Amino acid sequence: MKIVATLIAAGFLAASAFTAASAANRKVDIVNDTGLTMSEFYASNTGADDWEEDILGSDTLEVGDTFEIDIDDGTGACKFDFKAVFTNGTSLVQRAINVCSISTFTYHR
């Protein structure tokens, strides 16, 4: 009987942890401190094979500017890869960013 109660308690703890991750805030301020205008921004689940759509669309993120995005792809994942593309054609990729534990991510030179 004690084993069954322990297993049930372990199941509740696991479900609670999953629920907490699923409900985590994934809003992140992206800051451009590179000296270059950002023309594209991508955030894809670390497990994805391809980049998701360009979040900036036809907008740009000027030097010193910030934009807030809600990086929630519906999977409950917290780790995402970021890719910023700049108007001069260069790009910066950052891997495994935990969007559940940060509120700001700054691209530096």
Q: Are 79 and 97 in contact (CB under 8 A)?
A: yes
Average pLDDT by stretches of 10, the chain with 109 residues: 50 48 79 98 94 96 97 92 98 97 95
CB burial class (10 A; 0-12, 13-18, 19+) of residue 60?
middle
In a domain, 61, yes or no: yes
Nearest residue to 103 (alpha-carbon basis) of 31, 28, 30, 26:
28
In a domain, 31, yes or no: yes
In a domain, 3, yes or no: no
pTM of the model: 0.78
List CB contacts of 104: < 8 A, sequence separation 6 or more: 28, 29, 31, 66
The domain in which residue 44 lies consists of: 26-108
Residue with tokens 């004690």: 2
Q: What total of structural domains would you count in the chain? A: 1
Q: Tell me the CATH number at 87.
A: 2.60.40.2890
* pLDDT at residue 109 in the model: 84
In a domain, 2, yes or no: no
